[in-house]
Amino acid sequence: MKKIAVMTSGGDAPGMNAAIRAVVRSGIHFGFEVYGIQYGYKGLCEGDIIRLERHDVSRIINRGGTVLGSARYDDFKKKSVRKIAVKNLLDLGIDSLVVIGGDGTYRGAQALSEMGIKCIGLPGTIDNDISSTDYTIGFYTALQTIVESIDRLKDTSLSHQRCSVVEVMGRNCGDLALYAGIAGGSEFIVTPETGFDKSLFLQQLKTSHETGRRHAIVVVTENIVKPHELAQEIEEVSGYETIATVLGHVQRGGNPVAFDRVLATEMGEYAVELINKGISSKAVGLKGMDLVDYDIVFALNKKREIPNKRYGLVGRLK
């Protein structure tokens, strides 16, 4: 019998369980034996591989995190370590693998593909930083968590005439900050795409305070500024009492919203269909309303498209 495996790697993202469920049940539908690899590439190298049946993925579509577990495993960059992973798969008769994660996960899949394992990558990351797809699994759930937090902060900021600095995740991609800034009605966003002119930014906040605006919300992508230090500078220059809030890993958790459940399910089934057709070394993505697939190498190197119109929208409405 044909055998495939599924795994999650890197940071967890809401919707990963829905993707695992889809791979398992679609795999069984197409006549595969399906295996789950626990704790990502680390578990693959340690032989932490289990058989999965249909009932094993019951009642997980609505759960956050990943039932297979995840891990970051730098040793997988070594070819000698990857050889162990390949042997573990082939010893069980598995020659096809669906990996769910971000760009680091894709790089691991690319390396395995070069060693003879047929890999399909699914974009599972809250950061939305995979350029070969419009949206990644987990992005919309994390966005909803952020927007709900901003709504609550806005209530208290308005009551006390404060400025709130909200740091969100995203690594090198500003989509979480951008979309949350629009949906939360924030006055300012700071992302890798906008750059950061501190002097101009502080002057704008000073003007905002002087013209009688009762509050301000500033959404910042992580690793650009130190939010608590920035809050202190805003308070000193603008006159707003200012508080910084770092949302941190609360953005990763929670039950996936419907969009992520549907996206993950469709992508998981699409991945199995590709394997069933003998197609491999692909990354699945969403373009408009359609699922697409690209060579993993292309997906890793594709230049990211920046939604300039949305950035302008924030500036016009503040």
Is a pLDDT exceeding 70 seen at residue 315?
no
> In the predicted model, what is the mean pLDDT of residues 91-112?
96
Q: What does pTM read for this prediction?
A: 0.94
- Taking the CA atoms of residue 309, residue 262, residue 39 and residue 298 in that order, the dihedral angle to the nearest 10 degrees is -50
Angle between the 103-113 and 79-91 helix axes, to the nearest 10 degrees? Answer: 70
Is a pLDDT exceeding 80 seen at residue 1?
no
Q: What domains sit in the chain, N to C, each tagged with a CATH number?
A: 3-138+256-301 (3.40.50.450), 142-252 (3.40.50.460)
Cβ neighbors of 246 (< 8 A, separation 6 or more) are: 167, 227
> In the predicted model, what is the mean pLDDT of residues 101-117?
96
Q: What is the 3-state secondary structure (H, E, C) of 34-62?
A: EEEECCHHHHHHCCCEEEECHHHHCCCCC
Q: Are strands 162-168 and 216-221 parallel, antiparallel or unpaired?
A: parallel
Residue 136 vs residue 195, higher pLDDT: 136
Residue 317: per-residue pLDDT: 57
- Per the residue annotation, which of 48, 74, 75, 127 is the catalytic one? 127
Cα separation, 227 vs 232, in Å, equals 9
> In the predicted model, what is the mean pLDDT of residues 284-306?
91
Cα separation, 82 vs 198, in Å, equals 45
Tens of pLDDT, residues 187-205? 899 999 888 999 999 999 9
Residue 310: per-residue pLDDT: 74
- To the query of whether residue 127 is one of the catalytic residues in this protein, the response is yes
Is a pLDDT exceeding 80 seen at residue 309?
no
